[in-house]
Amino acid sequence: MRDSRWLVPADSLLAVDRVADEVRQAVLAGRLEPGVTLAHRAIGEQYRITSEIVQAVLSRLENEQLLVRRDHSFVVPPLRRDELDRLIQVWHAVAPDHSARLCTGLPRSAIDKISGLLGAIYGGGAVSDDEKFRQAQRLQAAWLGPDTRSWEPRTRLMVWQPMRRYIRIGMACSRGLKEPRRSASGALTLFDAFSRRSPSAVRAAMSVYIDQLETVSELALAKFDDGTRPQRRLRIVV
């Protein structure tokens, strides 16, 4: 029988999930800018949660590499050209060959799922940026397939988590520019290659798709000057 002293109340877990998701989306979207310090007390007061829940939220986001610990505070990490270069390099080294191997055995249901995600992202409906981003994350997972577990332990912390922020902020910066249309074109070309189950076409299309994600991500660097803005303390989470 489990010791009841170590059971976390369900309402506390729900609070951690809720607040962590709100702060996560603010960091990913750049509403909490690179260099901002998250004040422990300010978060507790804003969300009316206990110090223990605040600490659980911050620790979770630290594990996701969306926050870094600095002394007794947590800081939104900077966006850096060298980091983006490394992320793209690793992605190029893993994704094209992996997806090329995957495409021949991908079930029709997975192809249909990708088609639905493409429609949700690029269909032009009234969908929030945050929801489009969530759909885009599901799409990227679908490109890489269910067997990503075989390489995620080595690459997840190096690529998947940090890359999300560059892409999400880049998406916000690309409104009215050609990048969304280019990304749509790249995604549709990749979908066509998957549908034809052509490893060579998937490999080439995935490389182009990654290059387009890099172009979108570079807009995030341009907005935040490679993370050189001065630190500011968190006043409110938007």
| Cα–Cα dist 206/139, whole Å | 13
Within this chain, do residues 98 and 189 fall inside the same structural domain, yes or no?
yes
pLDDT bucket at 152, cuts 50 / 70 / 90: low
Within this chain, do residues 35 and 101 fall inside the same structural domain, yes or no?
no
CB environment 58-72: b (16+ within 10 A), e (fewer): bebbeebbbbeeeee
Within this chain, do residues 37 and 118 fall inside the same structural domain, yes or no?
no
CA trace torsion 171, 180, 198, 202 (10° rounding):
-40
Q: Per the domain annotation, does 238 fall within a domain?
A: no
Q: Which two tokens mark 10?
A: 């369900």
Mean pLDDT, to the nearest integer, of 23-29?
Answer: 91
Q: Where in the sequence is the domain holding 10, given as residue range(s)?
A: 4-78+227-233
Phi, psi of 211, rounded to the nearest 5 degrees:
-60, -40
pLDDT bucket at 76, cuts 50 / 70 / 90: very high
Residue 29 has pLDDT above 80, yes or no: yes
* Residue 199: predicted pLDDT: 95
pLDDT bucket at 158, cuts 50 / 70 / 90: low
| Cα–Cα dist 157/161, whole Å | 6
Query: pLDDT for 94-141, tens place per residue?
Result: 889 988 988 888 888 888 888 888 888 877 666 777 888 888 888 877
Within this chain, do residues 49 and 120 fall inside the same structural domain, yes or no?
no
- The number of distinct structural domains making up the chain is 2
Within this chain, do residues 66 and 141 fall inside the same structural domain, yes or no?
no
Pairing of strands 73-75, 68-70: antiparallel
Within this chain, do residues 99 and 186 fall inside the same structural domain, yes or no?
yes
Cα separation values, 130 from 84, 137, 143, Å? 21, 11, 20
CATH number for the domain harbouring residue 132: 1.20.120.530
Q: Model pTM?
A: 0.79
* Residue 119: predicted pLDDT: 84
As a whole-number percent, the residues of the chain with pLDDT over 90 amount to 31
